[in-house]
């Protein structure tokens, strides 16, 4: 897929997929080595500028013009509900349910889904208010840029991209597992064992790469076309889910629930942290706000509706699985298919496998659409090369961003095992959801020029206390096996900070079209529970997360910071010219010359 664009320097039309220097580093800081050296010397100054600079709602809407072609507004709330379910119901429920029931939670895995679902639903509310008022493709990146500044937004952006790449890779590898079940093979029969690599990365998966390539073709063709494909696949998927629940309960044995809480409360929350993976994907729907016909109506219905339906289905599926088989006998690769095989319904495993494949195909498709739109909006700010921001004039889709993200997904899917991917994905997701809830509180309570300095200081103190007390609660949970004294200190401090925010800091902004209820309580609880679930994730995953964040910082200090700084200053100059009437005169003079 190519896009013919006009080269401003030559006046000639060229292909949008060409690789020229100005496609990637067009900013002033990169025009000469001298400029770049000077920019690096100014890094501390520029960093401070970017940390304390916040974007605005209108600015995020204005940068859409940098994509050269507008995305087509073709989606309704009905499309978004199906996109939401298509984005979420996939590998998480069909693979991780078995893994977490067997290893961490037992039959109480249903409570793990309730906890992670409640957390995800609170995050959905926070996302929805932003998506309605800032309907752009940037999703949480745009929201954080408006409320917490460029630097925090970039760190979140890197983790957003990691979330999508890892999520897509995990689903693709799970697709291989269920496909193997469908053709009566072991998943490793379809993989290449590379004995020269370490154990976690030596099961090479060409099938996962193949399905990602096919999904990429659909994603670059048309958003509405992708919606129709997702719609059909999701209907089939829902039918199969009801088949699993009804036929599974026909084979239920209540004796399998005798050891409901075998692993205790700690096991429930440990599983919740991993099973948050099963809810990842709904944020992709918020990136489609730019293509939604009526954001104020369609986004709340689409996001909240799909999440409620998904949570109910997840809990029903978890109960069904653990009633069909003792938790210690559940297969960790294809649990539902093997459960039907265990009760003598061999034919049913093929129906389940086919339905799971349909569901995971939908997840891959919606993920491909969502991740490309994130990258598109990030590139519009020049924190990533602007080549990724180009929207194809013919298809109305960001082809460059889609192909790049899907290629990265294919590489990760080829090498990396599912358990590594799911833990790392949960960290990125919980971190981002926590930041979005924090940003919502900032949006409601702080408006420059409206909020007094005293109220601003109160807000900072309350938010810092909420985050720190939540972090100590999570840390105490992670380090103390049986202690409880710490919670008697940290939880009341969190509650006091939230009460203080509610009682002593007036809200500076009311939502224009749709607002999160129970502010500040709902966002504050969202912050606390997201941080708490982080305390249940293993140490190695945090090491990988820290390594990725370190790489992001290296890129930011060498390239992203300077590109974003130059672009922001150029925008400021343009606006000052408009305000001073210079731009108008230049346009009038140009029109006169043309005549």
pLDDT single digits (tens) 207-224: 999 999 998 888 887 655
Residues in the chain: 595
The pLDDT of residue 4 is above 60 = no
Taking residues 126-154, what's their average pLDDT? 81
pLDDT, residue 70, reads 58
pLDDT, residue 56, reads 66
Angle (CA) 234 419 425, round 5°? 65
The pLDDT of residue 15 is above 70 = no
The dihedrals phi and psi of 72, each to the nearest 5 degrees, come to -80, 130
The pLDDT of residue 583 is above 50 = no
Residues whose CB falls within 8 Å of the CB of residue 582, separated by 6 or more in sequence, listed in order? none
pLDDT, residue 592, reads 47
Q: Where are the alpha helices (DSSP H) in 325-345?
A: 335-342
Which CATH class for the 73-446 domain? mainly alpha
The DSSP letter of residue 399 is H
- Residue of 204, 173, 134 lying closest to 419 (CA atoms): 173
CB neighbour class for 108 (10 Å; exposed up to 12, middle 13-18, buried from 19): buried
C-alpha–C-alpha distance, residues 565 and 240, integer Å: 51
pLDDT, residue 7, reads 44
Angle (CA) 221 401 426, round 5°? 110
Cβ-contact 165, 416 below 8 angstroms: no
Residues whose CB falls within 8 Å of the CB of residue 412, separated by 6 or more in sequence, listed in order? 165, 166, 169, 421
pLDDT, residue 53, reads 76
pLDDT single digits (tens) 392-417: 777 777 888 888 889 998 998 888 77
Confidence band of 165 (pLDDT split at 50, 70, 90): confident
The DSSP letter of residue 70 is P
pLDDT above 90 covers a percentage of the chain that reads 23
* Spans of all domains in the chain: 73-446
Q: Where are the alpha helices (DSSP H) in 343-448?
A: 346-380, 399-415, 418-445
Residues whose CB falls within 8 Å of the CB of residue 332, separated by 6 or more in sequence, listed in order? 95, 98, 99, 102, 103
Cβ-contact 285, 306 below 8 angstroms: yes
Confidence band of 441 (pLDDT split at 50, 70, 90): very high
pLDDT single digits (tens) 49-106: 888 877 666 665 565 555 556 556 667 888 888 777 777 776 567 767 888 898 888 9
C-alpha–C-alpha distance, residues 567 and 78, integer Å: 38
Cβ-contact 384, 154 below 8 angstroms: no
Cβ-contact 303, 123 below 8 angstroms: no
pLDDT single digits (tens) 284-302: 677 676 777 887 788 888 8
Question: Within 10 Å of residue 367's Cβ, how many Cβ atoms?
Answer: 29
Distance of CA 377 to the CA centre of its chain: 14
The pLDDT of residue 258 is above 50 = yes
The pLDDT of residue 595 is above 50 = no
- Residue of 225, 185, 231, 187 lying closest to 208 (CA atoms): 187
Q: Token digits for 138?
A: 């940037």
pLDDT single digits (tens) 458-483: 999 999 999 999 999 988 887 777 77
pLDDT, residue 72, reads 62
Taking residues 126-147, what's their average pLDDT? 79
CA torsion sign for 335, 339, 340, 342 is positive
Q: Token digits for 562?
A: 């300077």
Angle (CA) 118 226 18, round 5°? 115
């Amino acid at each position: 897929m190519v896009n013919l664009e006009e080269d401003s320097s030559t006046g000639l039309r060229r292909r949008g997929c060409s690789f020229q220097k100005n496609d990637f580093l067009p900013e002033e800081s990169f025009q000469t080595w001298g400029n770049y050296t000077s920019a690096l010397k100014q890094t501390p100054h520029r960093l401070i500028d970017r940390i304390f600079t916040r974007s605005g709602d209108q600015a995020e809407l204005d940068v859409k013009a940098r994509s050269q072609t507008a995305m087509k507004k073709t989606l309704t709330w009905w499309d978004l509900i199906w996109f939401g379910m298509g984005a979420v119901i996939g590998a998480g429920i069909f693979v991780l349910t078995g893994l977490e029931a067997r290893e961490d939670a037992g039959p109480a895995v249903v409570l793990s889904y309730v906890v992670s679902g409640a957390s995800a639903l609170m995050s959905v509310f926070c996302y929805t208010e932003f998506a309605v008022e800032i309907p752009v493709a940037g999703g949480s990146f745009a929201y954080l840029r408006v409320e917490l500044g460029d630097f925090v937004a970039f760190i979140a952006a890197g983790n957003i991209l990691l979330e999508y790449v890892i999520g897509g890779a995990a689903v693709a590898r799970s697709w291989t597992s269920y496909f193997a079940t469908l053709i009566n093979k072991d998943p490793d029969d379809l993989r290449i064992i590379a004995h020269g690599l370490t154990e976690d990365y030596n099961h090479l998966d060409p099938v996962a790469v193949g399905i990602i390539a096919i999904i990429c073709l659909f994603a670059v063709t048309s958003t509405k076309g992708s919606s129709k494909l997702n719609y059909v696949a999701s209907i089939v998927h829902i039918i199969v889910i009801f088949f699993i629940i009804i036929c599974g309960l026909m084979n239920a044995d209540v004796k399998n629930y005798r050891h409901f809480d075998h692993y205790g409360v700690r096991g429930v929350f440990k599983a919740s942290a991993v099973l948050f993976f099963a809810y990842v994907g709904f944020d992709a729907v918020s990136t489609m706000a730019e293509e939604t016909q009526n954001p104020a109506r369609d986004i709340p219905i689409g996001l909240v509706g799909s999440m409620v339906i998904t949570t109910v289905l997840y809990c029903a599926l978890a109960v069904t699985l653990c009633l069909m088989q003792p938790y210690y006998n559940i297969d960790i690769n294809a649990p539902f298919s093997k459960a039907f095989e265990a009760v003598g319904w061999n034919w049913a495993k093929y129906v389940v496998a086919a339905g799971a494949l349909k569901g995971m195909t939908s997840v891959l498709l919606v993920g491909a659409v969502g991740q490309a739109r994130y990258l598109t909006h990030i590139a519009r700010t020049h924190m990533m090369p602007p080549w990724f921001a180009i929207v194809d004039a013919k298809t109305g889709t960001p082809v460059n961003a889609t192909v790049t993200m899907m290629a990265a997904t294919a590489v990760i899917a080829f090498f990396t095992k599912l358990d590594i991917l799911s833990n790392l994905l949960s960290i990125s997701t919980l971190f981002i959801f926590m930041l979005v809830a924090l940003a919502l509180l900032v949006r409601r309570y702080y408006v420059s020029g409206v909020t007094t300095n005293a109220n601003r200081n109160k807000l900072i103190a309350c938010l810092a206390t909420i985050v720190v007390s939540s972090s100590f609660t999570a840390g105490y949970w992670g380090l103390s096996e049986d202690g409880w004294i710490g919670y008697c200190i940290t939880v009341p401090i969190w509650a006091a900070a939230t009460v203080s925010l509610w009682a002593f800091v007036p809200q500076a902004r009311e939502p224009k079209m749709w607002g999160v209820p129970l502010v500040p309580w709902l966002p504050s609880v969202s912050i606390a529970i997201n941080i708490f679930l982080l305390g249940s994730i293993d140490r190695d995953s945090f090491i990988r997360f820290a390594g990725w964040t370190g790489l992001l910082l290296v890129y930011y200090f060498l390239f992203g910071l300077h590109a974003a700084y130059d672009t922001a200053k150029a925008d400021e100059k343009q606006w000052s010219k408009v305000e001073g009437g210079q731009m108008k005169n230049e346009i009038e003079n140009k029109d006169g010359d043309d005549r």
